[in-house]
Structure 1
């Protein structure tokens, strides 16, 4: 009985040690394929990246009609990155994007194609450069001079209309 327990314990330890030896030496995520944006409209650009491939590889986006693309090293140490454009003729739905690593490993990610954008609309900011000045420009002296000229014109027009109504002539 003791011998059987030792044999089972030894086998379990050997399997655990083999599992640790097969684990990657770095702590990075070697999970799946990250797809950004994960939701896109037809004609939109998509970027994928993964740490599972090391250096190089190819990507396959033929499910959505974009064909193959190259995975190249990115600014992050272990990641590779690829880009492709969803064809304008793509139909709404969820598509599987595949990265094929040099060692034969494949990682997958999902891309959702919709007809409406999920991005927030961007409002314009700043001044419009049309060449026409505004009512209150940036120079207060010019603004005051304009207001004074309008006041003088209004007063002069009122005085002339008043004289004409009394019959004094011009």
Structure 2
């Protein structure tokens, strides 16, 4: 019994010690720049976030690889954030965007993909489908009324037949 207790205690202490060296769950990825959107067409704006500079930290961004030049990253909640515009003359490809934290001098990078076609957005259907069958508010109210009347007659006839069968009169 003691051996099992020691084994469990040792395992729990090892797991707790391993957990102390990990990054907090709320901190985000502090090794890379987060780019939104990560794939963009020339002329569009890109938002850059980095948790590497700490809470309230600032950084100097460099998007010179894509031709946008330097941009500032200001303090936001838990990260440094900034924006730059991809120039209309940018060629398709993958570009490295760099930010250097003001206090620590830490350098973080992220990849930006420039494409000539914009990513497709979800398109939802709208309107009616031409199936040949009218709807409840279809184009011909006379046909709609005739259909409702036919359904009512069928329901009444079915009910009458079931009632006769239940009484034992037969069909």
TM-score by length of 2: 0.54
CA–CA distance in structure 2, aligned partners of residues 52 and 41 of structure 1: 27
- Residue 31 of structure 1: how far off its partner (Å): 2.5
- Residue 104 of structure 1: how far off its partner (Å): 1.2
The Cα offsets for residues 124-161 of structure 1, whole Å up to 9 and x where unpaired, read as x9xxxxxxxxxxxxxxxxxxxxxxxxxxxxxxxxxxxx
Q: Rg: which structure is higher?
A: 1
CA–CA distance in structure 2, aligned partners of residues 73 and 84 of structure 1: 16
- Residue 34 of structure 1: how far off its partner (Å): 0.2
- Residue 37 of structure 1: how far off its partner (Å): 0.2
CA–CA distance in structure 2, aligned partners of residues 26 and 40 of structure 1: 31
Matched, 1:58 2:68: no
- Residue 24 of structure 1: how far off its partner (Å): 8.4
CA–CA distance in structure 2, aligned partners of residues 25 and 115 of structure 1: 38
CA–CA distance in structure 1, aligned partners of residues 24 and 58 of structure 2: 18
Runs of 4+ aligned structure 1 residues displaced above 6 Å come to none
CA–CA distance in structure 2, aligned partners of residues 58 and 25 of structure 1: 24
- Cα gap change, 1:34/1:25 in structure 2, threshold over 3 Å: closer, same or farther? closer
Match of 2:39 in 1: 39
- Residue 99 of structure 1: how far off its partner (Å): 0.7
Query: What secondary structure sits across from 1:49 in the alignment?
Result: strand
Give ranges in structure 1 of 5+ residues lacking alignment: 1-16, 126-170
CA–CA distance in structure 1, aligned partners of residues 23 and 109 of structure 2: 22
Q: How does 1:20-169 map to 2 (within 5 A)?
A: 27=25, 28-29=27-28, 30-54=30-54, 55-74=57-76, 76=77, 78-102=78-102, 103-120=104-121
CA–CA distance in structure 2, aligned partners of residues 104 and 31 of structure 1: 13
- Cα gap change, 1:119/1:80 in structure 2, threshold over 3 Å: closer, same or farther? farther
Output the aligned Cα RMSD.
2.8
CA–CA distance in structure 1, aligned partners of residues 41 and 122 of structure 2: 14
Count, aligned residues: 105
